[in-house]
Structure 1
Amino acid sequence: MKAAVLRTFGSPLTIETLPDPVLGTGEVIVDVVATGVTNYAIDVFSGARNYLLELPVVPGPGGIGRVRATGPDATRLQVGDWVFCDPTIRSRDDAANPDMILQGWTYRSAAALRLHRFFHHGSFAEQMLVPTENVTRIGEIDPADAGRWCALGRLLVPYGGLLAGDLQAGETLVVNGATGGFGGAGVAVALAMGAAKVVATSRNERALDDLVRRFGPRVRPARMTGVETDDRQRIIELAGGPIDFVLDFLPREATGSQVRAAALAVRPRGRIVLMGGVRADGGDFPLPYVWMMQNYITVCGQFMYPREAVARMVRLVRAGLIDLAQFDLTEFGLDDVNKAVAHAAANAGPRGLTVLRPDRHGAGG
């Protein structure tokens, strides 16, 4: 099979011919048709993100494809089925505390290295070996639409946070950092789940206005200034009532003060879910002990999403509650993988969707 290979950090990916994956029990081989390219892939490949990743590797976290072969334990999957490949692979020998990797992207601990070495290669290839439980049928689609279905990977991450915080129809949500890729998708998913209002925070006024144009008056744009008390007051005023839930997607460069500006706006018995990338050098964001205790505040971190979320998200799309056409799709053939990485970096934001098509080898874009 042909694949894009990262051999050293800081070097371009190279197109190589690798052995086809070999099927075993508990595994599925998928012909990869389309896979998303994240806007920060360029930083992963340069080494700037310091992701735990053994090289050489075929990168690429998840994607859309068709089943080529199944192991003897698969009871529903059929050859030819259209599927979403979930990159969040969990070890099977400790259900209470599984080790975890993102296939073709990173492993999270030394214990997860064995898992990373076995399910090593990701989706920037014509074929991929995936655990059976990480393959979810999406129903029949037009092959031309496979790239648009890669938006599932974008939508599922905030969906995991909204499920963790138990968003209920009619509630008011703050998406802190709403104009990034995952934050913008979080706005769309929250509205599909029945949120009455979504206060969307960002410094990017133009991107906020675009969210309002796309989703209507249930989105309340809150342009942040960096002054914590002023920003919190603006969030509260735009909510026009109690804030039930804060979903934080602030990026690595954000400060603890920016996190706290939204978090402290939540109502008594409210929930705060942290899914962003704020680094330790961004400053701590201590929340007042007495305020949390007396107001029954729930704070939790959430990484990715539960396995059952994939099928539920497919149903939201099939029901018309989420429109995949909201994303501006740009596709590249496998031979143009480095152009795809550069394009994704230059077009970061809530609408851009850069997709690599391993089923195509000519020029794309």
Structure 2
Amino acid sequence: MRAVRIEEFGGPEVLVPVEVPDPVAGPGQVLVRVVAAGVNRVDALVRAGVYHRAGRPPLIPGVEAAGTVAAVGEGVTGIAVGQRVMALDGVDSPGFYAELAVVPAERVTVLPDGVELTEAATLPVAWLSAWYCLRRLARVTKDDTVVVKAAASGVGSAAVQIAADAGAHVIAIAGSPEKTAWAAEFGAGSIIDTSVHPDDAEVDEVLRLTGGRGADVVLDTVGGRAFGRSLREIGHGGRVVALANVALEPSTVDTRDFYPKNASVLGFQLTNLQIHGYDPRADLRELAEGVAAGTYRVPVETVFPLVRARAAHERLEQRDNRGKIVLKVAES
């Protein structure tokens, strides 16, 4: 089969198209014929050799995909050959930048009608992360004001829609007028352009928009110095959910920014949840049903063929994409 492999850690140039043997589904596993694979920041971290759970090259990256079932292993029930599915896997096993991938059955979710496979390939990481953070951890309600950082990213654009669908007032933070306007199209009631309100001015603007009260929930998708600002933006009894550190820099925290408010700091890491027994299928089914019903729109910015995985990573690392980047592996 065709695949793209990391031959050594480094920049996008280390992503090399190769031919490798077809995998075979073992007991409890599903063989997925991949149609599309999502491109995520974790893929870039694995490629660079800075992700804590990455193995050693050669590695096939890719942690989310959609396609059809090619075969099922012994003991697998509820999944049949030919069904349209989305799949999620950890980074410590062969990934989805390939025509075929073997996945544990509990990480394969059958898709409802009405969801395109290119869209479905973006749900298991960015959308599931936003869903779990807002619905399961922060427990967002219609009475909440929710701040979403990097609101034009894959996670951010999902989070804006999920929070808005829950009835919350969403304050979307992004780095340009184009990105903030785009976030507004997905349901943000207020926007903050960090090219106009950088650093501490961002905090002041959140406080102004909330009448000095602060937000009920801040979804921090950036980390680094931005995390300290998130703590200052939260109000009494609020919740800060940290799900990434794309800044790749330490976060300096002043505990006085959150403990006097009786606020909570909640951490999220999808791979760690799976290690500790989280079964994502029910949440992914609910998300997919929302997409099928038109409740959620899945923005796919750019689709690259599999052999251009290098170009997809270069686009990702420019950090100005709106919505998700996808690799097209085969026709559906």
- The Cα of 1:327 is off from its aligned counterpart by 3.2
Q: Give 5+ residue unaligned stretches, structure 1.
A: 88-101, 104-115, 361-365
The aligned amino acid for 1:5 is R
Equivalent residue, structure 1, for 2:15 = 13
- The Cα of 1:50 is off from its aligned counterpart by 7.3
In 2 relative to 1, CA 58–204 (structure 1 residues): closer, same or farther, beyond 3 Å?
same
Deviations 1:47-102 (A, max 9, x none): 46676332111111120011111123222111111111012xxxxxxxxxxxxxx2
The aligned amino acid for 2:328 is R
Equivalent residue, structure 2, for 1:301 = 267
Deviations 1:260-289 (A, max 9, x none): 323233232221111120668434112218
Contact 2:46/2:54 (<8 A) preserved: no
Which of 291, 296, 311 does residue 339 from structure 1 map onto? Answer: 311
SS in 2 for 1:264: helix
Distance 1:261 1:341 in 2: 29
Alignment of 1:1-365 (within 5 A): 1-10=1-10, 11-38=13-40, 41-42=43-44, 44-47=46-49, 52-87=54-89, 102-103=90-91, 116=92, 120-140=93-113, 145-152=116-123, 153-162=125-134, 163-195=136-168, 197-212=169-184, 214-216=185-187, 218-224=188-194, 225-228=197-200, 230-240=201-211, 243-251=215-223, 254-255=224-225, 258-277=226-245, 281-288=249-256, 292=259, 295-304=261-270, 306=278, 307=280, 308-324=282-298, 326-328=299-301, 330-346=302-318, 348-351=320-323, 353-359=324-330
Give the % identical residues.
25
Q: Which moved more, 1:295-304 or 1:23-32?
A: 295-304
Distance 1:302 1:50 in 2: 15
Q: Give the TM-score of the pair, scaled to structure 2.
A: 0.84
The aligned amino acid for 1:344 is L
Distance 2:305 2:293 in 1: 30
In 2 relative to 1, CA 238–123 (structure 1 residues): closer, same or farther, beyond 3 Å?
same
- The Cα of 1:156 is off from its aligned counterpart by 1.5
Distance 2:26 2:119 in 1: 30
The aligned amino acid for 1:173 is V
Q: Give 5+ residue unaligned stretches, structure 2.
A: none
How many residues align structurally? 316
- The Cα of 1:3 is off from its aligned counterpart by 1.3
Query: What is the root-mean-square deviation in Å for CA atoms of aligned residues?
Result: 2.7
Contact 1:85/1:136 (<8 A) preserved: yes
Contact 2:6/2:47 (<8 A) preserved: yes
In 2 relative to 1, CA 54–161 (structure 1 residues): closer, same or farther, beyond 3 Å?
same
Q: Give the TM-score of the pair, scaled to structure 1.
A: 0.77
- The Cα of 1:334 is off from its aligned counterpart by 2.5
Equivalent residue, structure 2, for 1:109 = none
In 2 relative to 1, CA 223–137 (structure 1 residues): closer, same or farther, beyond 3 Å?
same
- The Cα of 1:250 is off from its aligned counterpart by 1.3
Distance 1:204 1:58 in 2: 34
